[in-house]
Structure 1
Amino acid sequence: MLETSPPSTEAPDSSGAFFGRSADGMLVALVGEHAFAMVPARDGRHYLARGWRIRRPMAEWIRLDFYGHSGEIADEPAFRAKVLEQAQHQREKLALDRREDRSPAHTPWGPSQGATIHADGVTFYSTAGHGGFHLSPDRNREVHPLLRATDSWYEEDECWAIVAISFPHLFTAFERRCAEQTIKDSWPDAWEAIFGTILVPGESRRKDQRAFEAEHAADWIVVSAIPSDQQKGFVECVATPGGKRGPGTEERRFLVPSGEYEIGRFGFVIDPDRHPVYAGPSSFIGWRGRGSP
């Protein structure tokens, strides 16, 4: 089998990570068979993208070898720090000695295509479309009641974090940090109750969203937007009170200058003193012919 070719630009440091430049000038790195790139975006920004088993020298890599958006990267030192974090993560994973298993199993997401055994009674299953952990009855009883799944299954998007904080010795430091943030973001009340702490603004996405919704319950929040064909330089916005959706919800249209329209974390709040109600021709196909704003 053809081995991944190491770069010739920089020798690996003690972490085992290689750094170099791609054919199109991106800062890139290689950790084992995992490749990383600092991809340029708009306004001078960059984000982290990943690749897998790129079978060419690093100097021949191009943007199309990478996929995904794994978060914004501030600068080259931040990129290097992220890669070194991944190198440490890979070393710790090897030390955990997880075992692969091909035994078939039925999961909530369909037949399993493979499994990773983290320990007796702690198994991660992958399927064609999704995946997650299954815990044995004894293991599941060790999960805190506020987070415990009655069926012992924990899907891979968020609930995996419950398994990780319940059995931290089975996970790498990187995985534990990700798991802690996931619990804070998704189950802030449980986190506060279990650990006897109060999450401050900025520490939990869900808690911050609740605060936003409470603060703007009576405000008009955009639920749909499109560049206006009729009013150049403006965004035509459909907004509802508190950003609510569903049958019977009052809707109004507003014009927002294109330079001002930044969605933000939880939605764009209409300023009635700056953003006028709009009753003219609409760029929304579904709104054409309706007489109200």
Structure 2
Amino acid sequence: MQSARMISRHALCVHTPWGIADHCREYAEGITFYGTPSHGGFKLSPERLAAMHPALRAPAGWFEEDAEWAKVAFAFPECFTPEQREAAIHTLKDWCPDAYEAATGETLAPGASYIKDQRLFHEKHAEDWIVISAISSDQHPGQVECIATIGGKGGEWGKADPEERRYLVPKAEYDKRGSHGFVINPALHAPYDGQSSFIARRASS
């Protein structure tokens, strides 16, 4: 963000999706970053927004700072440093793979995108018990008490809560879990209905 120009907070009265801005930074004409005490992001002018690939555009031209910012840097690389351009590509691949693929025509292979890998994981294990919560067992040292649901799904508004089961898993095994979740193996992990560390710790707190 090499040529960015800071604008005094006293000159601002801009409402962003995250509140009223207390500072902003202009990267180029029509590309401005606005920050608030809680969050921030880029605001693009209508002209800049129209110049982007349709897959990269955001409603009203706002791009939040966690992942969406990468769409701005990818679309207007001349306004950013080489390091920021590289970070933008990695961010898009990981968190906005659909937009990246549509904008580039590239199909991301397994291992190239966190979100695509997460989707593949849940597709593969849609009928398996996946841990949604875990805690070290007070009653069984070296074991992790796990709560699992089919497909790793949680409750949804207006729908019945999914069935939950508890399991004990050796800590050494659980610590080797992948980044997308731990899958219960019925041949190795037996259902557990003993005293719960979840309940005991909630009571003590």
Per-residue deviation, 1:266: 0.7
Structure with the bigger percentage of helix = 2
Question: What are the superposed Cα offsets for residues 13-65 of structure 1, whole Å, 9 maximum, x if unpaired?
Answer: xxxxxxxxxxxxxxxxxxxxxxxxxxxxxxxxxxxxxxxxxxxxxxxxxxxxx
Provide TM-score, normalisation by structure 1.
Answer: 0.63
Larger RCO of the pair (alpha carbons < 8 Å, separation 6+): 2
The alignment status of 1:151 with 2:60, answered yes or no, reads yes
Where do residues 105-254 of structure 1 align in structure 2 (5 Å cutoff)? 105-246=14-155, 247-254=160-167
Please tell me the root mean square deviation across aligned C-alpha atoms, in Å: 1.7
Q: Structure 2 stretches of 5 or more lacking a match?
A: none
Structure 1 residues 159 and 99 mapped into 2: Cα distance closer, same or farther (>3 Å)?
same
Provide TM-score, normalisation by structure 2.
Answer: 0.89
Q: Give identity over the alignment, percent.
A: 53
Instruction: Give, in whole Å, the separation in 1 of the partners of 2:118 and 2:46.
Output: 35
1:271 to 185, 196, 203: 185
Larger Cα Rg: Structure 1 or Structure 2? 1
Aligned length: 194
Structure 1 residues 148 and 233 mapped into 2: Cα distance closer, same or farther (>3 Å)?
same
**Residue equivalent to 2:6:** 100
**Residue equivalent to 2:196:** 282
Runs of 4+ in 1 over 3 A off after TM superposition: none
Where do residues 51-90 of structure 1 align in structure 2 (5 Å cutoff)? none
- Aligned residue for 2:197, secondary structure, equals coil
Instruction: Give, in whole Å, the separation in 2 of the partners of 1:125 and 1:207.
Output: 30
Per-residue deviation, 1:248: 2.4
Per-residue deviation, 1:286: 8.0
Instruction: Give, in whole Å, the separation in 1 of the partners of 2:200 and 2:120.
Output: 32
